[in-house]
Structure 1
Amino acid sequence: MTIAEDWVADAMENLEVPRTMRLRLTRNGLTVVPVTQAHVMTQMRIFGQIDARLPGWVPIGEFKVLPPREGYMPEPDVSALPQEKLDPGSSRFDEGLLPFVVEIVSPESKGRDYSTKTDHYALRGIPAYLIVDVLTARWTLLTRPADGEYQHRESGVFGDQIEIPVADRTLTLDSSQFMRI
């Protein structure tokens, strides 16, 4: 990491922002963004479905993905870990532990969720990336990462069942529970 990257990482760790906001590193620098109720409710509903439909796994969210690549550690909104792999004191998890990640689109994050994060998650080899767009009531599931790109894409509307491969099983999410802005 460069000195500037160290400074940014330190600032993000130590700056306090209101609970209704998130601090994000964007191409324009550090940005404070609001968290909408649609985002929070959708995240909670996905957590609940993971709890109910993926026995032995624990939903996680608002964590950093290690290692940093190009000075960047994405912070997915949702993922899951096998119960025995969870470190309750950690806010950072190795990319190799993540079978999927979910990003819930907000007005400020739309470009990153559909492009920058797609590239980063594919380069990290994360098997599945689900984009939940609460702005348009649509979802996109990207799977089969190879050579820094996802090779398979499925899309649909809220109301569809979404099947995400997780290790040796399938997590089925009911997107009718997602909330639209």
Structure 2
Amino acid sequence: MADALEAVHLPRRLRLRLTRNGLTVVPVTQAHLMTQRRIANQIETRAPGWVPIGEFKIVPRREGYSPEPDVSALPESEWNSGKSEFDEGHLPFVVEVVSPESRNRDYSTEPDHYALRGIPAYLVVDVLSARWTLLTRPEDGVYRHEESGAFGDEIRIPVADQTLTLDSSQFVRI
């Protein structure tokens, strides 16, 4: 099924996602795209030694599934311009920007996938409600710590030996 998914071609304004519940067509809003870009820009300027990445799959596949977060970062030494899949062990955090279709999955299903992989932090940026939630400290497949706030608040994400501070006032609300 995952191989068939890669062979399907859709207009750029749509994405096809394989989840535990099957295939889902995801419309991509301008708020989603702009917020994703602004997060990547902040990673690039505020996290020395790290490269922002997007439009990629996390490997290895687990339970037949490879998550595709909206944004993350890699150490410069691990970044490869020819790759579209990156190992979970190199990701200090992942970000999902909520779409109308993805809201339930971003809050209830994706945290399990990322915590099970041991990804240290998971940030949900909800452009529908203008709020964010940061989950950290994965243990036994569950994040043990949660912080949340409104757009305008600073978000502090631990990234290896530094802290990435995101300015959420730059995020766009629908």
Question: Normalization by structure 1: what TM-score?
Answer: 0.94
Report the Cα offset of residue 33 of structure 1. 1.6
Report the Cα offset of residue 17 of structure 1. 0.5
Report the Cα offset of residue 28 of structure 1. 4.3
Instruction: Structure 1 unaligned segments of length 5 or more: list them.
Output: 1-7
**Which stretch of structure 1 is more off in the superposition, 22-31 or 118-127?**
22-31
DSSP 3-state at the match of 1:72: coil
Q: Taking structure 1 as reference, are residues 104 and 146 closer, same or farther at Cα in structure 2, changes over 3 Å only?
A: same
> Is the Cα–Cα contact under 8 Å of residues 131 and 148 in structure 2 kept in the other structure?
yes
Report the Cα offset of residue 55 of structure 1. 1.4
> Is the Cα–Cα contact under 8 Å of residues 19 and 65 in structure 2 kept in the other structure?
no
Matches within 5 A, 1:18-167: 18-167=11-160
The residue aligned with 2:161 is 168
Q: What is the root-mean-square deviation in Å for CA atoms of aligned residues? A: 0.8
Report the Cα offset of residue 29 of structure 1. 2.4
Counterpart residue identity of residue 155, structure 2: I
DSSP 3-state at the match of 2:106: helix
**Which stretch of structure 1 is more off in the superposition, 127-136 or 29-38?**
29-38
Query: Which residue, out of 13, 20, 27, partners 2:6?
Result: 13
DSSP 3-state at the match of 1:62: coil
DSSP 3-state at the match of 1:18: coil
- 1:22-69 deviation per Cα after TM superposition (whole angstroms, max 9, x unaligned): 011134422222100000000000011011101121100111111111
Question: Normalization by structure 2: what TM-score?
Answer: 0.98
In structure 1, C-alpha distance between the alignment counterparts of 2:21 and 2:109, rounded to whole Å = 14
Counterpart residue identity of residue 90, structure 2: L
Instruction: Structure 2 unaligned segments of length 5 or more: list them.
Output: none
Provide the identity percentage: 75
